[in-house]
Amino acid sequence: MPPPDPINLTQPAFKPPWVGDAEGLLVAPGTYSVALFIAHNGALKAYGESQEFSVKPVPSKNPTADFNAIAEFRARTSVLYGQISSAGKKLGEARNRLRYMKAAILETPKATPKLFADLNQLEQNLAALQKRLYGDRIRQSLNESASPSMNSKVGDIVYSHSETVQNPTDTQKRDIETAQADFNTFRGDLATYFNALEALEAELEAAGAPYTP
């Protein structure tokens, strides 16, 4: 399967030799097909004929391994991990927009105390959303015990279960169920937050704020 990591166009200036490329999850045994295409100048051209092949299970010490159920669990976990990663990117975008708004409000001719208060509230709400997604990073930096975050729960399962042929544990299943329910609520709150962010940007513009990216 494709790697669960989001697409990243940034190339690091240096990549340590022990850091490998992102790998996808193992598929379930079955019959698959492969075909070669050439992508050039925005066009996709078939090259040769499609070929079928079989993926057979590797002998496992666990005779009760349900490969289809394992692949389904991996796929669901991978999708959730991608959604959480995307939400994290959105939080980063919001943080950058707030930086510009904080600079712009100081140059806004008709700025009011309410605009300052609303901007400060958005900053606090963003910190709360980040804490829900990534956990209490202050406690983590001090090596204090903290509840696992949505990101850490799902990330740990993705990377601990990506290459195994064992059935997911009851704990892993429970963690995914909990993380999925938490993220469903989080996604709605994130949409509400961006609506408030855009509304305040419109108010700043109406008050004569300078242009921001």
Q: What element of type H or E holds 124?
A: helix 113-134
Q: If you average pLDDT over residues 44-53, what whole number do you get?
A: 94
pLDDT recorded at residue 100: 97
In the predicted model, is pLDDT for residue 78 greater than 80?
yes
Residues 6+ apart with CB under 8 A from 90: 190, 194
Lowest mean pLDDT among 34-38, 43-47, 76-80, 136-140: 136-140
Q: Which two structure tokens, joined as six digits, stand for 200? A: 């305040």
Residue corresponding to tokens 């200036």? 13
Q: Contact, 186 vs 133, CB < 8 A?
A: yes
pLDDT recorded at residue 60: 64
Q: What letter represents residue 151's amino acid?
A: N
Using DSSP bridges, classify how beta strands 30-40 and 43-55 pair: parallel, antiparallel or unpaired.
Answer: antiparallel
202: three-class secondary structure by DSSP? helix
39: three-class secondary structure by DSSP? strand
CA angle 154, 56, 157 (to 5 degrees): 10
pLDDT recorded at residue 83: 93
Lowest mean pLDDT among 14-28, 58-72, 192-206: 58-72
How far the first Cα of the chain sits from its last, in Å, is 37
